[in-house]
């Protein structure tokens, strides 16, 4: 009997998702550098957001939330690229494992499972990978990451940072779904 491989998560789809988000990040950073570098911050929809959201060009030479500065670790471009590269490798391995898990999901009776949990995990890791790639390329090319979106009360960030947060959110949400398991089926009434 021929074993049929069930796959509802195509690796090409995850690769396109990753490359699309990576491209969007690079394009927005390039646009921000060209339009905002050396300029004053630009308020976004001031009548709606009342100055709480603006576009502001910042060259971030630290990791998220200036963690290295807070820890007193001297940062070099090589250290930052190395840390980001290790994170990318970890995310790539996790994304591949999640995709493989999703492509082999079957129910106990042997029928294909269409559980979206594995898909969410695979997509989450693909999105995280896109963000990590965007920021590591920035570090390797410029020696810093270009940030340009500022929301009052929050550090300036970029599309890659949004991708990482959304991807982590998907992975956490999917992990919670895995722990709780599928809903219980109602059995026959007790007599």
Which residues are tagged catalytic?
147, 161
* Tokens linked to 7: 């796959």
Give first-to-last CA distance, the chain, whole Å.
43
Residue with tokens 């995709």: 99
φ, ψ for residue 17 (rounded to 5)?
A: -60, -50
Length of the chain measured in residues: 191
């Amino acid at each position: 009997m021929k074993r049929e491989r069930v796959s509802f998560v195509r690796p090409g789809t995850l690769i396109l998702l990753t490359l699309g988000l990576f491209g969007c990040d690079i394009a927005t950073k390039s646009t921000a550098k060209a339009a905002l570098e050396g300029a004053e911050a630009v308020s976004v929809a001031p009548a709606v957001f009342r100055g709480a959201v603006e576009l502001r060009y910042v060259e971030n030479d630290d990791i998220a939330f200036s963690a290295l500065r807070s820890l007193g670790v001297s940062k070099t471009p090589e250290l930052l690229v190395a840390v980001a590269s290790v994170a990318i490798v970890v995310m790539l391995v996790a994304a591949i494992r999640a995709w493989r898990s999703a492509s082999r999901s079957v129910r106990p009776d042997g029928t294909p499972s269409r559980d979206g949990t594995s898909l969410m995990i695979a997509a989450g890791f693909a999105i995280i990978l896109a963000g990590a790639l965007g920021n590591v390329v920035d570090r390797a090319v410029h020696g810093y990451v270009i940030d340009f979106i500022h929301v009052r009360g929050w550090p300036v960030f970029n599309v890659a940072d949004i991708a990482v947060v959304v991807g982590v959110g998907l992975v956490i949400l999917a992990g919670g779904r895995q722990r709780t398991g599928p809903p219980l089926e109602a059995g026959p009434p007790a007599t």
